[in-house]
Structure 1
Amino acid sequence: MEAESYEERGYPKRANLIREKLKRIRKDNFQTKNPEPVFIPTNSDLPATNNGSLSFLNGTWELGFRYLSQNAGFRSGKEWALDDGRVAFQAGTPYFPRSPMGYQNIRTLPYQMEWEGARKNSDTFSPRISFLHSSKKWGFEYVYFQFYTTRNFFSFGDFGGLQTGFQTDRFFSADHKIVVQILEEYSHNKRFVWEFGLRLGSLSTNSAQHSQSLGQTGIFRDSIQYVAPSTGFKFVHQFFESYSYELGGDMFLTPIGNLKYRRDSFTSLGGVSRFGGERTSADEVYSLFSEKSIPTTVIGLNLLAQLNWAPFQNHKFQLGLQSIQYNWRANETDPPGLRALNPESYLAAVRDYYLSSAFYEADGGKDRPTRSYGISNLYFGYTYVY
């Protein structure tokens, strides 16, 4: 009312000063000078993540990698025709050194003396992205895992004179793990983590063999691809202030994987046939391949033990042991596609398919072992916690 009185008498500046004074008084009266501290849950740093200052999508993000020092072991069932008398009789010759890596990979190489150089280990990086909701009840994780190895095989023997042969294998596998995590708190420093999601992966082999003395050359390629539901479990225990460990694993199973292969073979004129030891009367050039994908069942098991250390804000280190096992069965019930240079090559291709089926047709089925390979690795990891 005082400000309005000054305006009516022609003093607008005096009225504005009074109004500004009133605004300052109201602001001081209605705004507290001692706000309450923001409440932080006691389990906000479980496990030892030392959460950073940046939080978006109402949760905490972790971005990191693992450096893997890996070693692998392969099991292919019967690696030689001599392991099975029926196969040796059907093939008509006892020397079929078989690589444990490739799928369609029989050879004709002398085996009396042999030398094998196998690089069964590899060093790779594995990126990892995870998200933990602020409620500490759920999150998700993505991990990319890969492995590669090589194998070189040299053999020689006396078969109508000194014969030598060489073969090499290149194996590569890749695996994408995408899971949703459900967290269940057991106590203030212990909890269980359940995982549900998908595994998307592939196993690939590229092999080649050559014997100049026998006049033979072959190239063998196969690839398995799969999408599988995955489920897992982890136990997390925090001890001291910045340490925790994780124990657990996951597994996946799918009957709808698919396998494709291709086998190309060349035997020069006068070379030694891969079937019975006789000399060829014409060049034999042919290719056997899967005209459509072969149904394949893939089973995987992953076990993990990991120690976490968070010495600084936003930074976390891991040291872990991991073991992964892949098993697969493929049922090659349909005949392959066939391309041949001439009638002699066509007959050789048919014979090759018949002989190789003793090893591979219905592989992993009745009376046949499952193909498998396992990877064990010691890894070091680093994660930046947002």
Structure 2
Amino acid sequence: MRFFFVSHSVFCLVLFIACPVLEAQETKATEMELEAESYEERGYPKKASLIREKLKRIRKENFQIKNPEPVYIPENKDKPATKNGNGTLEFWNGSFEVGFRFLRQNADFRSGKEWALDDDRVAFQAGTPYFPRSPMGYQNIRSLPYQVEWEETRKNSNHLAPRISYRHNSKKWGWEYSYMQFFTSRNYFSFGEIGGFQSGFQTDRFFSADHKLVVQVFEEYSHNKGFVWEFGFRVGSLRTNSSQNSQSLGQTGLFRDTIQYVAPSTGFKFVHQFFENTSYELGGDLFFTPVGNLKYRRDSFTSLGGMSRFSGERTSVEEVYSLFSEKRIDTSILGLNLMAQLNWTPFPHHKFHLGLQSIQYTWRANETDLPGLRAINPESYLAGVRDYYLSSAFYEADGGKDRPLRSYNIANLYVGYTYAF
């Protein structure tokens, strides 16, 4: 207690002596300011300038810290691609995230009428009941017996999907690019009794790719909740390659179609950080375009003595023809993408993801124009005309409004990793 009393007394004594000295010097400085202003008013600017220089020195001695701490300058301050030397990479006044997602995908296809017997008009126009249509492709009608069938479908697909995003230092806007692809296959075997024992095989290969580029607008709702608005484009394609063969019927066919589109996209996400290093995202996006395009080609070959695709008769000559779209067919594409994602950041710069995603593509082609037709002989040309008439019932190629929509849905369960610069 005694030591504390002595220290307190010394501090008060120093303060008692220092305050009057500082007050006297500040009084003198005020008098010098008035004197300088007087000289300026009387037209002596040089004399006033000299007085102001003395005034600066007095106030510098009164108020400047005697022993200032040195300003700390990090060693890596002048190195490129760093922000204030803290090791956070920065380009274009913002930060980047680069990563990938491992997608475990499962697909479901829907394509309207698949069997000739599903609709009376189709059954009547097609004239034969024994060919189902694959739900994957577009121009993929076949002539295969259907009394007994066996289908092997690989609807799952595993892919790595890259992603890169940028966020401005203002935390108000950024952009994101992501890529997703899907592949599936379908093998179809059938057996039947049509003028003797018959068998057939068809295989389908479907591939889709989707590029998404959007500008993001960030909006904070509270310290740990926020919204993200997305505006941009999707560029993608849907492609099918199919083939069918029946040695007993003497038939072979190749079917290819491709849909391409560029669609405006808009989306929304809700982000909630509920622990220090954990957050989740809920949201989705919608894209639509009426100006997608479809191109298809169907090549058919029936060997001499093989079974005609339109009746139980045997052919007297080989029939080889090709039906194809002479110009791109206008196609409307509607897509809906929904997602839920959990984010975990156990270490600085390293972020892990676990998520669910469902994306559905619905499309309709307006095939009002007649296809191109190439044939090896008159009999083949006639067979191609009959083939187009037969398929128009399945594909509603008359341009009517009752044309069924075709769609497929991809459900993803994915894990991901992102390095945050």
The TM-score range, normalised by the shorter chain, is 0.7 to 0.9
1:187 counterpart SS class: coil
1:213-239 CA distance string (max 9 Å, x none) = 000000000000000000000000001
Quote the Cα distance in structure 2 between the aligned partners of 1:263 and 1:217. 11
Q: Give the deviation of 1:276 after TM superposition.
A: 1.6
Q: Does 1:366 align with 2:401?
A: yes
Q: Give the deviation of 1:37 after TM superposition.
A: 11
Gaps of 5+ in 2: 1-63, 75-85
Q: Tell me: higher relative CO, structure 1 or 2? Use CA pairs within 8 A at least 6 residues apart.
A: 1
Gaps of 5+ in 1: 1-27, 39-50
Tell me the C-alpha RMSD between the 2 structures: 1.9
**How many residues are paired up?**
347
Quote the Cα distance in structure 2 between the aligned partners of 1:340 and 1:375. 39
Q: Does 1:109 align with 2:144?
A: yes
Give 2:103's aligned residue: 68
Give 1:235's aligned residue: 270
1:321 to 331, 353, 356: 356
Quote the Cα distance in structure 1 between the aligned partners of 2:109 and 2:377. 37
Q: Give the deviation of 1:94 after TM superposition.
A: 0.7
Amino acid at match of 1:199: R
Question: Is the 1:259–1:296 contact (alpha carbons within 8 Å) kept by the matching residues of 2?
Answer: yes
Amino acid at match of 1:160: G
Q: Give the deviation of 1:359 after TM superposition.
A: 1.0
Kindly, what percent of the aligned residue pairs are identical?
Answer: 76
Q: Give the deviation of 1:366 after TM superposition.
A: 2.0
Q: Give the deviation of 1:89 after TM superposition.
A: 1.1
1:234-256 CA distance string (max 9 Å, x none) = 00000111000000000100000
Q: Give the deviation of 1:31 after TM superposition.
A: 10
Q: Which structure has the highest helix share of the two?
A: 2
Give 2:79's aligned residue: none
Distance change (3 Å), C-alpha of 1:350 and 1:251: same
Q: Give the deviation of 1:30 after TM superposition.
A: 11
Give 1:375's aligned residue: 410
- Over alpha carbons, which structure has the higher Rg? 2
Question: Is the 2:367–2:399 contact (alpha carbons within 8 Å) kept by the matching residues of 1?
Answer: no
Q: Give the deviation of 1:266 after TM superposition.
A: 0.2
Q: Which structure has the highest strand share of the two?
A: 1
1:87-118 CA distance string (max 9 Å, x none) = 11111111121000010011010000000000
1:154 counterpart SS class: strand
Q: Give the deviation of 1:59 after TM superposition.
A: 1.0
Q: Give the deviation of 1:55 after TM superposition.
A: 1.6
Quote the Cα distance in structure 1 between the aligned partners of 2:65 and 2:374. 93
Q: Give the deviation of 1:364 after TM superposition.
A: 8.7
1:176 to 190, 205, 211: 211
Amino acid at match of 1:54: L
Quote the Cα distance in structure 2 between the aligned partners of 1:71 and 1:319. 17
Provide TM-score, normalisation by structure 2.
0.80
Question: Is the 1:52–1:314 contact (alpha carbons within 8 Å) kept by the matching residues of 2?
Answer: no
Question: Is the 1:363–1:370 contact (alpha carbons within 8 Å) kept by the matching residues of 2?
Answer: no
Give 2:222's aligned residue: 187
Give 1:271's aligned residue: 306
1:77 to 79, 92, 112: 112
Provide TM-score, normalisation by structure 1.
0.87
